Amino acid sequence: MKQHRARKRFGQNFLHDATVLQRIVSAIDPRPGQTLVEIGPGPGALTRQILTLTKQLTVVELDRDLIPLLQQNCAGLGTLEIHSADALKFDFCTLKQPEKRIRLLGNLPYNISTPLLFHLFKQLPCIQDMHFMLQKELVERITATPGSKTYGRLSVMVQFHCQVEMLFTVGPEAFRPAPKIDSAIIRLIPHPEPPVEVTNPTAFSQLVTQAFSQRRKTLRNTLKKMLSAEQISSSGIDPAIRAEQLSLQEFALLTNLLESSKSG
């Protein structure tokens, strides 16, 4: 397979370890007939493996210089549909087939991982599942539970939208060039129904963001422009605790309280 010099401005670190690639493919379990979409395929190490099994794959790649190389490396393996586009602006729902939601995969550049996840949350009705290679520290934040130091806005928002599972970690030596950090594979499956009842999802997002805006401060202080300490207490939540101690259900309670106080 022909190589390409990784570009720093695109946050490129290309996976080359055959054992890791095989573990990722096994976790995804791609089948012919499924609508599989890879984000940021690079020179095509994972692309080749998937294409060999499914004979059809769609990819979204920002670096135009990679596209001829990708075509060359995947020649003869199956039908490769390439979209030269920025994944942060791409409408993935345009790739959905009737009765078939899309399966997303990719080794995501660290610098766009979080904004890309929030971009994809707006398109979840079109998505069956997502398997991404992310910075290990980011995956730990996403999968964190209430009360832990890594639990924050990202944990709450991702878990509100998806069932999350960290599958395995990947060391720097599996990449060219080797990053200075460990990576991890995460599986995200959109909830068929939200895990908690929220009357206004936008208000939920705003309240969670506000609650974590100053991590060391209590809810009484962070939420004072939204809810009074008395209102917080009325929901059975102590206004003297910090946001990192609240469960998804408790954030939903506060959101619904906020919304009912507006209409009242």
Residue with tokens 């399966």: 103
pLDDT-derived band at 155, boundaries 50, 70, 90 = very high
Cα(234)–Cα(227) distance, integer angstroms: 11
What is the reported pLDDT for 264? 58
CB 160 within 8 A of CB 188: no
Question: What is the domain partition of the chain in residue ranges?
Answer: 8-190, 201-263
Residue with tokens 């917080």: 232
Task: Give the number of other Cβ atoms within 10 Å of residue 81's Cβ.
Answer: 11
Task: State the distance between the two ends of the chain, measured CA to CA, in whole angstroms.
Answer: 65
Could you report the per-residue pLDDT of 161-191, keeping only the tens digit for each? 999 999 999 999 988 878 889 999 999 999 9
pLDDT-derived band at 14, boundaries 50, 70, 90 = confident
The HSE-up count of residue 97 (CA atoms within 13 Å, CB side) is: 9
What is the reported pLDDT for 1? 52
Report the CATH number of the 201-263 domain.
1.10.8.100
Of 73, 205, 45, 209, nearest to 133 (Cα)? 45
Task: Give the number of other Cβ atoms within 10 Å of residue 64's Cβ.
Answer: 8
**Which class is 8-190 in CATH?**
alpha beta
What is the reported pLDDT for 183? 94
DSSP structural state of residue 101: -
CB 257 within 8 A of CB 234: yes
Single-letter amino acid, residue 136: K
Cα of 197 vs its chain's centroid, Å? 22
Could you report the per-residue pLDDT of 86-125, keeping only the tens digit for each? 999 999 999 999 889 999 999 998 889 999 999 999 999 9
Query: Are 8-190 and 201-263 the same fold in CATH?
Result: no
Could you report the per-residue pLDDT of 218-238, keeping only the tens digit for each? 999 999 999 999 999 999 999
Please indicate whether residue 11 or residue 254 has the higher confidence score (pLDDT): 254
Run of H or E residues at 43 = none
SS3 for 175-244 is EECCCCCCEEEEEEEECCCCCCCCCCHHHHHHHHHHHCCCCCCEHHHHCCCCCCHHHHHHCCCCCCCEHH
